Amino acid sequence: MSIVLVVGLQFGDEGKGKVVDLLSKKADAIVRSYGGNNAGHTVNINNEELKVHLLPSGVFYPHTKCFIASNCVVDPKSILEEIKLCEKKGFYSLDSRLFISSYANVIFDYHRLFDALEEERKINKIGTTKKGIGPCLSDKINRIGIRITDLIDEDILKEKLKENILLKNEILEKLYNHKPIDFEATYQEYKSLGMSLKKYVLNVENKVSEMISNKENIIFEGSQGSLLDITFGTYPYVTSSSILSSSFYAGLNVKKNDNFHNLGIIKAYITRVGSGPLPTKLAKDEEKLFDHTKIKEIGTSTNKYRTIGWFDAILAKYSVNINSIDSLAITKLDVLDDLDEIKVCTKYKIGSEIINNMPLNTKQLESAIPIYETFKGWKTSTKNIKNFNDLPKNAKTYLEFLKNICNLPISIISVGPKRDQTIWLKEFFN
């Protein structure tokens, strides 16, 4: 039995979807531990790109059970669309494979509305995806949220929704001068959505604990990356919830033991989408080195070009530490194949001070000037290489440096979007 936690170590878009898809082949279950449909996973199967936002990445294997845990927020419309799309693409029915925690909170249309209105009011935009995640979690913390267990009970839904809409309408009219929400139309729509989701609702927490006791192979996956964590990320340019490895356990009432492996996913360079600091952002004359379309650095959820930078070892070490990472999966090494030189930031200069650890606050990070070590490129394709020893000498030198500076072994190297474009250095499941 093995349990692998797949944790993004940057600002999201590290390639978690591909890694989870690869591991799913031998897994009995995939657990989506937190987050909502504000981030996306992209998997390449038979030369076709498939994108999911809330469904666990393991949906593409017929034998895997897929769980959405209590710390997730569920948009009923979005998840039902994803289920339909998967089945339309010819994947096996999810009726006996997908299970949603009754404790998960529900995203309503009014959450998306408030997300957009609030972002519009701000002088300094955070760059929210406007999927309603923040307002939904705000309701959860304020103890007025509506959970999946409420959604599938029409009487409880009616009572709670009426209270919520009265409150939301007062805010809409007085603060935003916006037309009120129609209670009856909203109730009828979400009552119907609840009935469609009811067959997937289960006590996920008990079922996952049972599978752990039965020594089954399980993958825990999240969304986004650790540097967007609500507490430890580049606040306020962060997501609305905790997304560290510790939140995987909290959302399922399980504790780590020797069979758990925290696998950190990290790109061979770095990107971020939306607002916020990126110290190693490419200089103007370097931007031509990376073709966004060719290397697929366009957001799955936002469709925006991601900001690209060189590998930032300071941020990487910080993420490794706050997540108690056991080994690394380094992705998109092939993107660097044609470069003459590759940079890695190992120190920052902030004012007159040179540091090699995470600054105390986001303002300092915004002013940080990166100090680089430069490596020679390898100028040859790595896309079809299956063995570490067959990699070009300079590629191995670069990877060894990343391994040493993070003080962790490398378990997986991805050299392309396809399943077979992968170098395995560790076997996770028997």
- Catalytic residue ranges: 13, 41
- Number of helices (H), then strands (E), belonging to the chain: the values are 12, 19
Confirm if 350 and 359 have CB atoms less than 8 A apart. Answer: yes
| Residue 75, CA distances (Å) to 84, 132, 266, 371 in order | 14, 9, 28, 43
> How many whole angstroms separate alpha carbon 239 and alpha carbon 233?
8
Confirm if 409 and 328 have CB atoms less than 8 A apart. Answer: yes
Q: How many CB atoms within 10 Å of residue 400?
A: 11
Burial of 119 (0-12, 13-18, 19+ CB in 10 A): middle
Return the beta strands (E) in 83-229 as ranges. Answer: 98-101, 105-106, 201-202, 218-221
Confirm if 85 and 49 have CB atoms less than 8 A apart. Answer: no
Confirm if 315 and 414 have CB atoms less than 8 A apart. Answer: no
Confirm if 152 and 301 have CB atoms less than 8 A apart. Answer: no
> How many whole angstroms separate alpha carbon 322 and alpha carbon 9?
10
| Residue 143, CA distances (Å) to 89, 136, 302, 376 in order | 39, 11, 30, 55
Q: How many CB atoms within 10 Å of residue 78?
A: 18
Burial of 190 (0-12, 13-18, 19+ CB in 10 A): buried
> How many whole angstroms separate alpha carbon 250 and alpha carbon 245?
9
Strand pairing of 353-355 and 341-350? antiparallel
**Radius of gyration from C-alpha coordinates of the chain:** 22
